[in-house]
């Protein structure tokens, strides 16, 4: 049973105090997509901006969740409050998360300095859950200095993580053909740091060597001035490479934020946030405006009285006409 409704002003104050229940409640409101949540989220956005966001991604089976858990433990040992947003694939029918990353990170759950939240993608492309960026703001405003954003195993188009993170870590593992997968998925060039997990395996050196050679050949094109993309081997069994990885993240964080590269990264993150928010609002508005018409037009399509392209154009025309006054009001502000 849901608890009593908490007004936004009180909820924001409780989030600022770092209360887990308040953090969870506001993230749930963000996930709901309801307009009533936007006021609180707008205020939270103004209070955020101090955290360092580390994006963790890689192909399935590369050990991302294990690495995230170990990193969070090391960061806590160093005194950082750590937020973890684990983005799960979701069932297209129930919309629920099915991986349960929080179960795999249960050792951290009792630590008040760690907050872990799984979020379902609900079919969103790009590997990002719809309210993930809002969740980052909420944890940031709650005083979590490092926020780890772990995305689902990526495909060719699922590289949005770089647009939402200050530091992007791409995780590979030996025996998966990751060096080839990385190129196909566009992962090689988005990484600020490459990690090869399970480096205690006998075939790990080959994966490390292959990735280093690819970087030497200049496949990576986005590294900021003064930054050489490292390739680091790690082992969850021995702990090898974890301190080196933490050091690399700290060095990347320390790059001058007001340099050309730093400003470009911040602008890219802001632009991505703006466009993603606009896409979500447009999606909601389109669904609300077309609910009745789409059912009627679908019947025509089912009976093959028309084709899907003509009916889709009709659906869009009806929607745009209904939104005409609103669109003109928006455009007039930029005229």
Quote the CA–CA distance of 99 and 88 in Å, as a whole number: 6
| In a domain? residue 231 | yes
| In a domain? residue 7 | no
Q: What is the pLDDT of residues 129-164, one digit of tens each?
A: 788 999 999 999 999 999 999 986 655 445 678 888
On the question of pLDDT at 327 being above 50, the answer is no
Q: What is the pLDDT of residues 253-297, one digit of tens each?
A: 988 677 777 888 889 999 999 998 998 888 888 888 888 889 899
Q: How confident is the model at residue 182 (pLDDT cuts 50, 70, 90)?
A: low
| Domain that residue 132 falls in | 49-255
Tell me: do 157 and 206 sit in the same domain: yes
Compute the average pLDDT of residues 161-177: 85
Task: Pick the closest to residue 247 from 49, 74, 108 (CA basis).
Answer: 74
Tell me: do 204 and 308 sit in the same domain: no
pTM of the complete model = 0.83
Are residues 62 and 237 in contact, defined by beta-carbon separation less than 8 angstroms?
A: no
Tell me: do 138 and 224 sit in the same domain: yes
Between the alpha carbon of residue 13 and those of residues 8, 85, 117, 141, 322, the distances in Å are 9, 22, 20, 10, 39
Q: What is the pLDDT of residues 186-221, one digit of tens each?
A: 677 788 999 999 998 888 888 888 888 888 776 555
Task: Give me the CATH number covering residue 192.
Answer: 3.40.50.300
Are residues 113 and 179 in contact, defined by beta-carbon separation less than 8 angstroms?
A: no
Query: What pLDDT does residue 217 have?
Result: 74
Residues comprising the chain, all counted: 335
Quote the CA–CA distance of 320 and 325 in Å, as a whole number: 9
- Of the residues 223, 255, 287, which one is the last residue of a structural domain? 255
């Amino acid at each position: 049973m849901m608890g009593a409704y908490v007004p936004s002003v009180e909820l924001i104050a409780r989030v600022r105090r770092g209360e887990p229940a308040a953090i969870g409640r506001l993230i749930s409101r963000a996930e709901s997509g309801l307009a009533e949540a936007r006021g609180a989220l707008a205020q939270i956005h103004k209070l955020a901006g101090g955290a360092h966001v580390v994006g963790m991604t890689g192909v399935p089976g590369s050990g991302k969740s294990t690495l995230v858990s170990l990193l969070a433990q090391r960061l806590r040992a160093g005194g950082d409050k750590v937020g973890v947003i684990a983005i799960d694939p979701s069932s297209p029918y129930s919309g629920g998360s099915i991986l349960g990353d929080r179960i795999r990170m249960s050792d951290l759950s009792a630590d008040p300095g760690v907050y872990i939240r799984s979020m379902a993608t609900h079919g969103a492309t790009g590997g990002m859950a719809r309210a993930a960026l809002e969740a980052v703001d909420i944890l940031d405003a709650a005083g979590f200095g490092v926020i780890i954003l772990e995305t689902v195993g990526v495909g060719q188009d699922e590289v949005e993580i770089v647009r939402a993170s200050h530091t992007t870590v791409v995780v590979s593992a030996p025996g998966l053909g990751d060096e080839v997968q990385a190129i196909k998925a566009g992962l090689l060039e988005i990484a600020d740091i490459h990690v090869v997990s399970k480096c205690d395996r006998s075939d790990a050196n080959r994966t490390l060597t292959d990735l280093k050679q690819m970087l030497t050949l200049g496949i990576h094109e986005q590294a900021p001035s003064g930054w050489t993309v490292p390739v680091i081997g790690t082992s969850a069994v021995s702990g090898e490479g974890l301190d080196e990885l933490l050091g690399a993240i700290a060095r990347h964080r320390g790059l001058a934020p007001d340099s050309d590269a730093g400003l470009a990264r911040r602008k890219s993150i802001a632009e991505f946030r703006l466009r993603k928010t606009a896409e979500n609002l447009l999606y909601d508005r389109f669904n609300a405006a077309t609910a009745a018409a789409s059912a009627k037009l679908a019947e025509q399509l089912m009976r093959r009285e028309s084709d899907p392209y003509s009916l889709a154009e009709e659906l869009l025309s009806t929607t745009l006409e209904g939104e005409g006054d609103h669109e003109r009001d928006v455009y007039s502000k930029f005229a």
